[in-house]
Amino acid sequence: MDRLINIAAPPLDTEEARARREADAPHSPVASFPGETLRLDAGLVLHDLQIAYQTYGEPNAARTNAILVCHALTGDQHVANVNPVTGKPGWWETLVGPGKPIDTERFYVICANVLGGCMGTTGPSSTNPQTGRPYGLDMPLVTIRDMVNAQAMLLDHLGIERLLCVAGGSMGGMQVLQWVASYPERVVSALPIATAARHSAQNIAFHEVGRQAVMADPDWHGGHYLQFGVTPHRGLAVARMAAHITYMSDQALHRKFGRRLQDRALPTFGFDADFQVESYLRHQGESFVQRFDPNSYLYVTRAMDYFDLAAEYDGVLANAFRGSKTRFCVVSFTSDWLFPTQDSRAIVHALNASGAPVSFAEIESDKGHDAFLLDEPELSDITRGFLDSAAKTAGLPVARDR
Ligand SMILES: CC(=O)SCCNC(=O)CCNC(=O)[C@H](O)C(C)(C)COP(=O)(O)OP(=O)(O)OC[C@H]1O[C@@H](n2cnc3c(N)ncnc32)[C@H](O)[C@@H]1OP(=O)(O)O
Ligand SMILES: N[C@@H](CCO)C(=O)O
């Protein structure tokens, strides 16, 4: 019988997986801030902050060519090249690299693992300096604004005063919007993709299902599973399966799998993964738990839920951008029902009302929300054109013809 998802490989917090993560250390520099604190929206203070990051390309002499890329919910700092933990290409290798739209021969690209994450930046699996044990749920909740404030500390550490662009999709796009609201003078241009200025009720609902799956796993132990030497990987896998459906469109699921059966001619009349789509989702769940920490999943989904940029500005989104000189390019995808085009339009309307320069593109695609991670030629063209124009405004040398 093959009714349950099969977590064959070691989950993230076994000794073996820890060793794999530690093997990443030479690849990911970690910025530490001894003696400094980060004040969080939750009203608490974080000590001994650590931020794991990657850079690609070189800063120019005036340090005016930096682009900050912000990752989505379960991304990490490995935006390009090979991710040493998964052995797979970086999550935005379609856009970032030499000669690519975010051209690392021209730009100095920085990407940091978010606060609350599990790839080297302080998160619930980090050691709580007050107890010497992993934080677990004793880690204070973090918000998108907290993530951005931590990134600002990293930029100070790297000697980058101003960003030529801040770019990202989904939760990365939320960080882009927050960057302009919090640090307008530090951002020349902004590229928020497949995102929203506030998380919808429907999206909060999906996240709650995922969190309940994690917390219902008997191995969760109130969030202190590391002390018990186990990981609630089954709950996390179920959470990912449910979430993954929301990252795709109905058309894409139909195109990829339809009602086809997996490795069999007839249904089993049982609960095995008869259908290809079931097998695919199980695979997505099983592979996710090899690279992600269950408590981090709780924290980062919660940060998205709390995001409501207008709420910080008397309920008027335009006020978040008023006076900002940042140039925007807002992008959405036609088949993205998780962050539909109407969410992007709301951002564009607010930017118009605030007087900010903004362009908007809705890209025709049947790939759903995760289209921003896939090879979408129109996204590449828009990104290249937008960055060329931002670079020109900033007085950088023009791009070579390709
Ligand atoms: C910033 C960030 O967001 S980083 C995090 C982004 N990364 C993820 O979210 C990782 C998981 N998500 C995905 O894989 C997303 O679908 C994407 C967008 C990143 C990739 O999409 P695609 O290239 O279309 O890949 P697809 O969704 O078809 O998945 C391919 C995988 O499914 C597996 N698969 C395909 N069909 C089946 C099936 N019938 N049964 C079992 N497994 C299957 C493939 O073997 C492949 O496995 P692998 O990834 O372990 O090599
Ligand atoms: N699939 C991506 C996008 C989610 O918004 C991720 O897991 O981060």
Residue nearest to atom 40 of ligand 1 (CA): 280
Q: Tell me which residue of 92, 87, 175, 172 sits closest to 373, measured CA to CA.
A: 92
* Of the listed ranges 18-32, 310-324, 370-384, the one predicted with least confidence: 18-32
Pocket lining: 170 vs ligand 2, CB cutoff 6 Å: yes
Alpha-carbon Rg for the chain in angstroms = 21
pLDDT in tens, 348-360: 999 999 999 999 9
Which H or E run contains 245? helix 233-246
Please report whether residue 275 resides in a domain: no
The number of the ligand 1 atom at minimal distance from the alpha carbon of 244 is: 12
Please report whether residue 124 resides in a domain: yes
Report the b/e string of 156-170 with b at 16+ CB within 10 A. eebebeebbbbbbbb
pLDDT in tens, 141-163: 999 999 999 999 999 999 999 99
**Which residue range(s) make up the domain with 99?**
15-198+315-393
Number of independent structural domains in the chain: 1
Pocket lining: 283 vs ligand 1, CB cutoff 6 Å: yes
- Our answer to whether residue 170 is catalytic in this structure is yes
Q: What is the CATH number of the domain that holds 172?
A: 3.40.50.1820
pTM over 0.90: yes
* Residue 146 is assigned to a ligand binding site: no
For residue 10, the model assigns a pLDDT of: 45
366 has a pLDDT exceeding 50:
yes
Pocket lining: 72 vs ligand 1, CB cutoff 6 Å: yes
Please report whether residue 121 resides in a domain: yes
Please report whether residue 237 resides in a domain: no
